[in-house]
Structures are given as structure tokens and as C-alpha cells.
Structure 1
Amino acid sequence: MNTNPEFPAEEPANLKFLRRLVTTLTATMIVGLVVMITLLVIRLNSATPDLALPEYIELPDGTRTTAFTQAPTWYAVVTADDRILIFNRDSGQLTQEISVNSRP
């Protein structure tokens, strides 16, 4: 054993391997995290101009809305009287009406 402080003892080979392994894994995790954050930012910043909200929606008289959803070719309005009204995105015309019986 080396007791001279001017010449530190050489560390064992398995400790060198472990130190390099931990350093490599840390660097890999940091790079992976940066890549994931970058991809998330790119994905969230991508615009979807096809899904712009319609300027107005003509609903049947006395209809009260509770929800709205849309897709590239249609949009739907859920009404308070348990109906789903599906409209064509291009023409704005009501194309389908679905009655939802939510009460037993």
C-alpha cells in the first residue's frame, strides 16, 4: 500500500470501468432528454390550419349546446337534450343527427 501522499494509489480496474459506465449512461440520458424535449416542442408548435373554428354554426331553434368537437371534414355539437349534431365542414350543413339516451 502506498502511504506517500505525493503518489496517489492507482484505483482498481473495476472502479474505473464503473466510473466510465456511469458517466456514459448519464451522458446518454441527458442527450435522450434533450431529444425528447426538442421533439415535443416541434410537435406542439406544428400548426393545423385545417381545423380552424367555423365562423358561425346554425343550430335548430331552442337548441342549447354543451360540447363541441371537430375533425378535418366535419364538426359536431352536443346538445343539452342529448343529441349530437354533425355538420359538414365545407358547407356547414347538418349531415347527421344522433340521439344519445344517457338516462336508463
Structure 2
Amino acid sequence: MTTTTATAKKTLPAWLILSDSSATILLAKPAEFNGVKVDRVTLREPTIRDLRTAEKVHPNDKEAQEFHLFASLAECSPDDFEGLTLRNYNRIQGGYFRLVREDEDAA
């Protein structure tokens, strides 16, 4: 483990479990996904296809693109994100951005 990676792991918030291919976000308050109350959401690592699909489905709406992308990565409906508290949504955004950034950016 490099110093940069060790430093990055130390600075992760307690609500985030990060691996090479996914981010598991512990929610501040349980939420409903796919009709089930959960206390965590896992996002898989996105592909270019995921990004392009979200842009194609919602060409002029960045917020809808993000909902579509996150729903694809979490394997749920974009509507599931509509019911989230802002605190939970901020955690999901934070988990996503930490998942996709390079190690050098994490320090």
C-alpha cells in the first residue's frame, strides 16, 4: 500500500466502504429502494456505456442524468432517489465521486 492510498483510506468518511469496483454508502436514515427499506446502498463502478446512456436518455437535464446513472449503478429505479433525504443523497454523490476518482486525487 502506498502512502497516498493509506492516506486516502484514513480520510474516508465512516459512512463509506470503498473497494476497487464499488462504493457502499451507509445511509443516515433508512430509505426505500426497489420497494424494500435499506440502510445502505451499493454503487458498482460505472462504465462509459452507463454515462452515455444517461446522457442519451436525458440529453438536456444533468440532474435526471445523474439520477439515471446512479439508479443504473445501484440497480434500482431513478424514482427511488426522489424520496431520499438530502443528507442521504449527498452521501451517495460523495460515494460515487470517491469511487470514480484516481488514487492521486484522493490525498
Q: Smaller-chain TM-score range?
A: under 0.3
Structure ID, larger Rg: 1
Superposition TM-score, scaled by structure 2 size: 0.23
Higher RCO (C-alpha 8 Å, min separation 6) = 2
- TM-score, scaled to structure 1: 0.23
Of Structure 1 and Structure 2, which has the larger fraction of its residues in helix? Answer: 2
